[in-house]
Amino acid sequence: MKAMILAAGQGRRLAPLTDHTPKPLLPVAGEPLLIRQIRQLSRAGYVDIVINLHHLAEQIETTLGDGSEFDVTIRYSHEQNLLETGGGIVNALPLLGDAPFVLLNGDICTDFNFADLSTPLNEDTLGHLVVIKKPSNRDQGDFEVNGKRITKRGGNWVYCGIAVLDPMLFSDAPDGAFSLRDVYFSALAKNQLSAQIHTGQWTDIGDLNAYAEVRDAGFRKK
């Protein structure tokens, strides 16, 4: 199964750090976050990786190359204009192919073991999302979970930025830039989403305070 890492964003809330360094290359415990993520995927057997690029794209390509240094194969999906999360995936589908793929946000730091990632997709389940219990600093969660199904919006569970997706989810996607959330909400209305709960460590590096939490020590597991 292929994997895709979303790494095209500008990371404006981490300025000035991201003025000259793409957010996925910011160091965590002495190593660029994106390299940590690639190592996590590789250890679980995900060695065919697609990365979308826009902001300071050449830095990421120069750092990672073709992936051989990390025992993976990396291909890049370039975005002349930023396509957001959903549009970025659609733009990368020619590289991803027709089979389900693993998706990973390029700005999360977690000890999630990708070898434990369930892949229960079928004609009734086109998306499988990893979720965590809503952190205390969040007013509202993203989804409600009942058993292994995502049942409605809101609730007490937050999407981790890790998923297994069937390209069929994007069969009716619009052209241009749009959010992956729109795809998830559409699939949710059709009862096409399952959930997997992560109880370990997870940080969305969305701003300078969140980055400060993980910058020096990282997590126990890369």
Q: Does residue 44 lie within any of the structural domains?
A: yes
- Structural domain of 116: 3-214
What is the tens place of the pLDDT at every residue in 59-113?
999 999 999 999 999 999 999 999 999 999 999 999 999 999 999 999 999 999 9
Residue pair 21/56 in contact by the 8 Å Cβ criterion: yes
CATH number of 91's domain: 3.90.550.10
- Domain for residue 220, yes or no? no
84 within a domain of the structure (yes/no):
yes
Rounded Cα gap, residues 184 and 149, in angstroms: 13
Is 158 within the bounds of a domain?
yes
Q: How confident is residue 220, by pLDDT bands cut at 50, 70 and 90?
A: very low
The answer to the question of residue 221 being in a domain is no
- Whether 219 is covered by a domain: the verdict is no
pTM: 0.94
Overall domain count for the chain: 1
Three-class SS of residue 188?
helix
Radius of gyration of the chain (CA): 16
Give domain status of residue 147, yes or no: yes
